[in-house]
Structures are given as C-alpha cells and as structure tokens.
Structure 1
Amino acid sequence: MKLITVKRETKEEKRYTPKMGELFTKVTYIKKRFLSIPFKTLHKYRETYYGEVKDCQACRLAR
C-alpha cells in the first residue's frame, strides 16, 4: 500500500475571461494525496473550445 499517491480529477467549473465572458469549462486538478486524503494541489489546467490546454491562472472564477 502506498502512503503518498498522485491523482488527476476533472470537474466542470464556471470561469470568466475578459474576451469570452462567462463560460463552463472542464478543469483538471492534479492532487497529491496522503492515505487517500488530498492535501496539496500540484497543478490545475483547463481545455479550451479549440482543444488548446491552458493554465488556470489565465482566467479567474466567475464574478
């Protein structure tokens, strides 16, 4: 049994960008877990309508 694991989760979130406005997008989180309890988010990214992968720092949560 491993004590520390890394797991990837995808969930749909509401985001806001100045150019496109408000949109629902799938955001993927890569989290580090200790005994199946998440304790640190290593990275999060989203996929655009055009298939391009972007970091979530480029957009913020909905107003």
Structure 2
Amino acid sequence: MKIIKIQRKTKYQKYYSSAMGTLNSRVTCIKKYFLGIPIKTIHEYRETYYGEVKTCDDCNLFI
C-alpha cells in the first residue's frame, strides 16, 4: 500500500453559463491522498461544450 498517492476522478456536474444557460459538464479533480484520506485538491478542470479544457474557477457550479 502506498503512503501518498495522486488520483484523478471524473464526474458530471451542472454549471451555469450566461450565454447557454444550465449545462452538464465533466469535471475532473486531481487529489492527493495520504493513507487513503484526501488531503488537498491539486487541480480541478472541466471540458466545455466545444471541447475546450478550462479551470473550474471560470464557471459557476451548481451543487
């Protein structure tokens, strides 16, 4: 068993775009784990409707 590992997970989340309204998008989170417990999120990005990759700081996510 590794002590520290980095794992990437992808899930669908809703977000709001002023131009297109509410959309579903794939959001990928890269997290650092210590003994299986998540410590911090290293990076979080999403794929847009047009196939571009943007950071999640640019959008309003609905949770």
Output the TM-score relative to the length of structure 2: 0.88
Deviation of the 1:3 alpha carbon: 0.8
% identical equivalent positions:
58
Corresponding residue number in structure 2 for 1:7:
7
The number of residues matched between the two structures is: 63
The aligned runs of 1:1-63 (5 Å cut-off) are 1-62=1-62
Consecutive unaligned residues in structure 1, runs of 5 or more:
none
1:5-62: per-residue Cα shift (whole Å, max 9, x none)? 1000000011112122111111000000011111200110000122110111110123
CA distance in 2: counterparts of 1:17 and 1:55, whole angstroms: 14
Superposition misfits of 4+ residues, deviation over 3 angstroms: none
Consecutive unaligned residues in structure 2, runs of 5 or more:
none
